[in-house]
Amino acid sequence: MIGYAHAGMTAEGDNSVLMQKVTKEQLTLLQRQHRDLEQWFLHLAVLETKLAEGKSLFQVWMGEESDTIQSAAKAFGERMCFEQTLDIVRTLDGGPREILETLLHLWGLTLAETNLSWFLTRQLMTPQTGLLVPQRVREVVASVGENSLALCGILGVDERLLFAPIASDMGGWEAYNKSDNHGELLEKNQLETAGFRPHHDLDGRSKL
């Protein structure tokens, strides 16, 4: 029972399977409270047509509608995260609210840009608006970029947990980029010679 519950809830780490579970759950809810009957019956007619051709539900679900299923589940998760974050932002004031509003704005714009063709082909966004989305994304990125180091610092990640030299503030990336390394990693002694001071993990061992 416990093993089944684990597999049923987590999909054993397989995100694609997990997305299918989300979509099935949403379909169950839609059956109870669907509002747009015209669209609902249109999708139902398409499914019944495919089943009438002798195709199994498994074949249609896994072989022909997989992209739609994955996208629907992902969109649901993204919307939930966006709305929950927005609720939190509305409870804040001053600097914290301004920072989170900007980051949330950027994420929303990024989602719109990523799915721009979907919005345009379904006439949910005008071509004129679509042309403005990438430009607006770059503008907000530039704004966030001015404070990127401070924003990373807010996360409060312990320096000892940054195992990659390029991620530390001890000269890793500066030392590495002083000369052309042809994409190769430097040996420990080469890094130290170049001025990079290795940091240490929680038990004192050197991490490069």
| pLDDT tens track for 58-69 | 887 788 788 888
pLDDT at 3 over 60: no
Distance between CA atoms of 151 and 194, rounded to whole angstroms? 29
| pTM summary value | 0.64
Write phi, then psi, for 172 (nearest 5 degrees). Answer: -55, -55
| pLDDT at residue number 140 | 96
Give residue limits of the domains in the chain: 1-86, 92-156, 159-207
pLDDT at 202 over 90: no
| pLDDT tens track for 115-146 | 999 999 989 999 999 999 999 999 999 999 99
Q: Which residue is associated with the tokens 């669209």?
A: 39
**Cα distances (angstroms) measured from residue 55 to each of 17, 50, 63, 123:** 21, 6, 10, 31
Identify each DSSP E strand in the chain by its residue range.
Answer: 199-200, 206-207
Residue 154 neighbours by CB under 8 Å, 6+ apart = none
pLDDT at 204 over 60: no
Token pair for 43: 């999708």
Distance between CA atoms of 62 and 199, rounded to whole angstroms? 48
User: In 3-state terms, what secondary structure has residue 136?
Assistant: helix
